Chains A and B, each alone.
Chain A
């Protein structure tokens, strides 16, 4: 048996079983996490499920931030799922397999257009990632790799049905193998596909609204030693996008990430950002993170932001205290004694 028929035969079945078992395992992990979290007082499984469900719909709140980009991403993922499953060529293969399964196929023309759309979008995402400096800064190699990996089966599949690549003999001969192999790689990647929130250091003010909004307690912050430290427990993230939707600075970004360690849940909590805290000038209590204080200072004119709420009360009451005529008199008497 040559490699091509191995990739289309036994390897394909292995990949399918790994994919199905892996996805089932992740569903089990997801529900065990929900049950564990529901013991915590402010994380409730109803809330987690609702946030997760909302994140799957096209009109959830993260979209209002960047509507066009979100819509493109949504279309991309629809094509990504629909085309391979309802492609007439794939269905024929299922029919010929030992199961003899059969279902309605997409019209070929529509499948073609969806494939082209997906390739176009993949090209756009890749270019955007390379060209836009802001995005490039926060991109890792795996981000580029993932886009290419996702587009490859579609590109080869399209060339298989339409292409005329006889000029490049190697490609033409092995196109089918490349198509199957890249498709298999994509399925494996889908099982190991996780998400990670990144906080853009230049935009993030450290207000920790994302921590309050995170339904699974993935993002946490802890204040201590004049610093607010944000930690991220990777395997808990359900990619609901609550942090992206909430962030008033648009500093939170969700990224795809492939990792076996995260599937095995062995990744420890990771520190993703630490912000310096402004402390109250009179009592040393925490006021707010320094970037947030600077941002608030741009809007307000008074100087009370140097103090914590408790000392602010004291200091502004002190103003009225000095205004009170009888108190002034009394003070004088006390100081005389």
Chain B
């Protein structure tokens, strides 16, 4: 069974350790701006939300990629970038609605979450398990679907449609 990253904002303490370990794992440098996960904070309310790639089923980054460098890895249930095909046009960066696609200025290439090939470091270092790597069971999918439905409604309201 495929696994997926599950975020629980109620557990997140906003320590941003996930950002640090992610950048160390992927770039060798401890630099949160080069990480694939970012914690968005509302400090006065204590609301912290780690934002990372949703590995969408119908991924906008994948549909705009002109060279089909972005593909779905069914085995690990993730969206991946094939750097041999990627030309660095950054269309995916513009397309991703979650801002999960980044561009690493140092390495001159796009970066995104790759679930660390099945052993996500952010999960290992998150003591609260605000980010968890769980079996993609129906109940989790239902939760995600509910959230996205609410989210879509909210966005429609926000844009006055």
Contacts and interface: CB of A to CB of B under 8 A. Distances in A.
Interface in A294-337: 295-296, 299-300, 302-305, 307-314, 316-317, 319-324, 326-327, 330-331, 334
A246 interface: yes
Interface string A138-178: 00000000000000000000000000000000000000000
B89 A292 contact: yes
A317 B151 contact: no
A5 to B, nearest CB: 56
A287 interface: yes
B17 interface: no
Contacts, number: 115
A317 B94 contact: no
Interface in A218-276: 246, 248-249
Nearest to A301: B60
A222 to B, nearest CB: 14
Contacts of A317: 40, 49, 51
Interface in A200-227: 205, 207-209, 212-213
B90 interface: yes
Contacts of B49: 317, 320-321
A293 B38 CA distance: 24
B9 A324 contact: yes
A300 B64 contact: yes
Contacts of B44: 334
Interface centre among B42, B51, B94, B99 (most CB of A within 10 A): B94
Interface centre among A208, A209, A246 (most CB of B within 10 A): A209
A299 B47 contact: no
Contact of A320 (B93, B101, B151): B151
A42 B108 contact: yes
Contacts of B66: 248-249
A133 B93 CA distance: 35
A7 interface: no
A333 to B, nearest CB: 9
A191 interface: no
A295 B91 contact: yes
Contacts of B97: 300, 302, 304, 312, 316
Contact of B87 (A213, A303, A321): A213
Interface of B: 9-10, 38, 40, 42, 44-47, 49, 51, 60, 63-64, 66-67, 87-91, 93-102, 108, 147, 150-151, 154-155, 158-159
